[in-house]
Amino acid sequence: MAATQTRGHTGHYYHRRHHHDSVYLTPSNKKDAGVWITRIGLLVNLGMAIGKFIGGYVFHSQALIADAYHALTDLISDFMTLGTVAWSLKPPSERFPNGYGKIESLGALGVSSLLLVGGALMGLNAGQALLAEFTPEAFEAFEHAGLLIHGHSHSHNYGVDVIGPSIHAVWLAGGSVMAKEWLYKATMKIAKERKSSVLASNAVHHRIDSLTSVVALVTIIGAHIFSNAAWLDPVGGLIISLMVINAGWLNTKTSLLELADTTVDSEIKENVRKAALETITRESSLDGVDIWDVQGFKAGQNFLMDIEVAVAGSTTVQQSRQIEEVLRANISAQVRGVRRVKIRMIPRELEKIDFAEEFIPGDVSPWESLEP
């Protein structure tokens, strides 16, 4: 067991598979699934930006050129995800004794904020296009009053000044749908396995791009079937904007809860408890040991767990240390994502004590003890 472990900076044991010496796009973390899929997404967005710039120029399509700019802005999301995922894989240090997982939570908050802002701008653009389509007088009044927003968001051609889509752009929109759907499924699969909020946020970003490409396809085809189908694009954009805002809010909420150190979900607690009980049953040196309580919090992809263990009152310090090492090694090997296991030893003869005992009451002023 000892041959496969190494000590981290805080004195806990970490499997060598958890260690990554470098941080950003380096050979030591290129093989990490989260880093790998984000690098693929970054390259796809870059390729799509170049392809749509060329297609927009060749087909004289302002919509494609606008979407090329959008693909470039998506690179910001990819870089944020790539950087935070890579940083979160670093082992703990003296300055960050709990590891760097919270940096990934901050990255998830940034990416989900981009979704919220993008969804809001998409909805505003779609609303403006519908206003111009059905009530041009009201649109002109708002425009003269300076109440309209001009620019591009996740939408392909919701701005009223954008030239209608060209039929020659169908293959580019279709290719975008297929590429982004594959990226969504691949990224979300890894996000669920790692329980990574930043990867989940980036996966949703890919799905939104796929949906907007579907809207572009419908618009391109509809514009060549019906004589007046300009309203299809902004209606679809309005629907998608609500989906973007909802996804962005859910991911933002998850990120904020992680940053606030809410407890891990019941599935992780149960898996840790199960691994601990199996270890106690299997190891003869843990005879008489019992698991009283399990808690922990999430930091990016990392789970930092606390376990309350009941032992005989006669247990020595050396025996306690052996129990701690065996439990930590087996739990970290069986439960994916567990990066720290703190063991709290309680004499079996005492009543069960809650973890809250460790906190000092906040209703007493420290100055009261100094009064004569």
Q: Given this model, what pLDDT does residue 209 score?
A: 79
Q: How far apart are CA 320 and CA 203, in angstroms?
A: 44
Q: Given this model, what pLDDT does residue 234 score?
A: 74
Q: Which tens digit of pLDDT belongs to each residue from 2-55?
A: 333 333 333 343 333 343 333 333 334 566 788 888 889 889 888 887 887 787
Q: Which tokens hold the place of 208? A: 């939104």
Least confidently predicted of 49-58, 243-252, 256-265, 331-340: 49-58
Q: What is the mean pLDDT of residues 160-183?
A: 70
Q: Given this model, what pLDDT does residue 10 score?
A: 37
Instruction: Express as a percent the part of the chain with pLDDT over 90.
Output: 19
- Specify whether the CB–CB gap between 62 and 162 falls below 8 A: yes
Burial class (CB in 10 A: 0-12, 13-18, 19+), 146: exposed
Q: How far apart are CA 294 and CA 270, in angstroms?
A: 8
Confidence of residue 224 (pLDDT cuts 50, 70, 90): low
Higher pLDDT among residues 366 and 252, named by residue: 252
- Specify whether the CB–CB gap between 98 and 306 falls below 8 A: no
Coil, strand, or helix at residue 5? strand
One DSSP character per residue, 28-82 reads TTTTSHHHHHHHHHHHHHHHHHHHHHHHHHHTT-HHHHHHHHHHHHHHHHHHHHH
Angle at 258 (CA atoms; ends 253, 260), nearest 5 degrees: 95
Q: Given this model, what pLDDT does residue 16 score?
A: 36
One DSSP character per residue, 97-120 reads TT-SHHHHHHHHHHHHHHHHHHHH
Q: Which tens digit of pLDDT belongs to each residue from 361-370?
A: 766 555 555 5
CA atoms within 13 A on the CB side of 261: 5
Q: Given this model, what pLDDT does residue 31 score?
A: 67
Q: Given this model, what pLDDT does residue 139 score?
A: 72
Q: How far apart are CA 220 and CA 155, in angstroms?
A: 14
Q: Given this model, what pLDDT does residue 150 score?
A: 56
Least confidently predicted of 76-80, 153-157, 167-171: 153-157
Higher pLDDT among residues 176 and 276, named by residue: 276
User: In order of start, what are the domains of the chain with their CATH numbers?
Assistant: 2-259 (1.20.1510.10), 266-356 (3.30.70.1350)
Find tokens 């004589």 and name the residue.
227
Q: Given this model, what pLDDT does residue 327 score?
A: 94
Q: What is the mean pLDDT of residues 244-256?
A: 86
Q: Which tens digit of pLDDT belongs to each residue from 128-160?
A: 877 887 787 877 777 776 666 654 444 444 443
Confidence of residue 306 (pLDDT cuts 50, 70, 90): very high
Higher pLDDT among residues 172 and 266, named by residue: 266
Answer whether residue 162 shows pLDDT above 50: no
Helix 101-134 × helix 232-259 angle, to 10°:
160
Confidence of residue 1 (pLDDT cuts 50, 70, 90): very low
Q: What is the mean pLDDT of the chain?
A: 77
Q: How far apart are CA 296 and CA 91, in angstroms?
A: 18
